[in-house]
């Protein structure tokens, strides 16, 4: 009867997958969005043991045939192991707006929120009332030392993130990167949050593009095929449940009846 629970587990996991695909799809036009992928795992794998006393000679598990012997491996259930974020760069889209920035390779822009520093690849920035460079949420974007202050919405920013107004070098956009296994998670608002105790490294030679936004790296065709797969797997799991249902029904109602 374990299979019934396996089927139910599979349905639950596929629901999580479906949620994830919906989220990726809804963020198709979110600048700097990184897609998530559900990694599933069977857990825990266990050995099945005989419950009845083996008849001598029937088993091949050694000379002690009358002991309870293992008969094979079965998976208890399936579950979501993790939902990692794919930090693959998205395509670049030219907007021509002077306060739109994109990072080509690795790295994040740094914004300061009430809860501390957050990291983002969404370079759609604005100017606040007092001339501070802020993101869409109104959080200041960090330069070399502290928030970037500008005089106009039309600065010139070179490849390395140096900001010029006229001839004057005003500030440099802070671009940081993390080691590969740093726990970074999405917080919403296109922000990434890093677990306490992990410090980013300053990128010495960032590749900053002005007038360009990084597109979401979720691609439509792949998400759509994944969605089809989820739908069919879900259906299959449902069928399995129904088969078990039939079996149980037979066992309960038909076994032992004459007709």
| Touching other proteins, residues 131-190 (CB under 8 A) | 131, 136-138, 150-153, 181, 183, 185-190
CB of 203 to other proteins, least distance (A): 23
Which range binds other proteins by CB under 8 A, 11-19, 56-64, 109-117, 201-209?
A: 11-19
| Touching other proteins, residues 231-250 (CB under 8 A) | 231, 234-235, 238, 241-242, 245
CB of 61 to other proteins, least distance (A): 29
CB of 104 to other proteins, least distance (A): 19
Radius of gyration of the chain (CA): 28
From the list 110, 124, 121, the residue with the least C-alpha distance to 176 is 110
- The answer to whether 184 and 197 have CB atoms below 8 angstroms apart is no
From the list 122, 103, 228, the residue with the least C-alpha distance to 175 is 103
Distance CA 90, CA 30 (A): 11
* Identity of the residue, 13 or 176, whose beta carbon is nearer to other proteins in the bound complex: 13
Interface with other proteins: number of residues (CB under 8 A): 77
Instruction: Quote the DSSP letter at residue 141.
Output: B
CB of 127 to other proteins, least distance (A): 4
* Identity of the residue, 5 or 61, whose beta carbon is nearer to other proteins in the bound complex: 5
- The answer to whether 103 and 175 have CB atoms below 8 angstroms apart is yes
CB of 144 to other proteins, least distance (A): 21
CB of 11 to other proteins, least distance (A): 7
Among 89, 90, 122, 141, the residue binding other proteins under the rule CB under 8 A is 122
Among 3, 15, 198, 250, the residue binding other proteins under the rule CB under 8 A is 15
Beta bridge partners of 191: 188
| Touching other proteins, residues 71-90 (CB under 8 A) | 77-85
Distance CA 194, CA 178 (A): 9
Which range binds other proteins by CB under 8 A, 66-74, 120-128, 157-165, 199-207?
A: 120-128
| Buried b / exposed e along 196-221 (16+ C-beta atoms within 10 A) | eeeebeebeebbbbbebbbbbbbeee
Among 2, 3, 22, 47, the residue binding other proteins under the rule CB under 8 A is 22
End-to-end CA distance of the chain: 26
Beta bridge partners of 120: 109
| Touching other proteins, residues 49-68 (CB under 8 A) | none
Cβ neighbours, 10 Å, residue 153: 13
Residue 225 touches other proteins, criterion: CB under 8 A: no
């Amino acid at each position: 009867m374990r299979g019934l629970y396996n089927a139910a587990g599979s349905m639950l996991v596929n629901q999580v997958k479906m949620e994830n695909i919906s989220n990726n799809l809804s963020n198709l036009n979110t600048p700097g969005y990184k897609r998530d992928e559900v990694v599933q795992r069977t857990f825990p794998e266990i050995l099945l043991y005989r419950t009845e006393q083996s008849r001598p000679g029937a088993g091949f598990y050694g000379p002690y045939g009358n002991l309870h012997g293992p008969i094979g491996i079965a998976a208890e259930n399936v579950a979501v192991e993790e939902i990692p974020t794919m930090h693959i760069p998205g395509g670049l889209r030219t907007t021509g707006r002077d306060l739109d920035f994109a990072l080509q390779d690795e790295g994040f822009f740094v914004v300061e929120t009430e809860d501390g520093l957050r990291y983002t690849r969404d370079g759609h920035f604005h100017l606040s009332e007092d001339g501070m460079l802020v993101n869409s949420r109104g959080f200041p974007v960090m330069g070399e030392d502290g928030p970037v202050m500008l005089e106009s919405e039309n600065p010139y920013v070179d490849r390395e993130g140096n900001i010029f107004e006229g001839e004057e070098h005003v500030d440099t956009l802070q671009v940081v990167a993390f080691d590969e296994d740093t726990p970074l998670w999405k917080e919403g608002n296109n922000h990434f949050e890093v677990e306490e105790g992990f410090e980013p490294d300053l990128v010495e030679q960032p590749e900053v593009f002005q007038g360009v936004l990084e597109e979401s790296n979720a691609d439509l065709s792949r998400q759509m095929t994944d969605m089809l797969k989820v739908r069919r797997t879900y259906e299959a799991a449902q069928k399995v449940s129904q088969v078990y249902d039939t079996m149980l029904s037979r066992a309960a109602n038909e076994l032992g009846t004459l007709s």
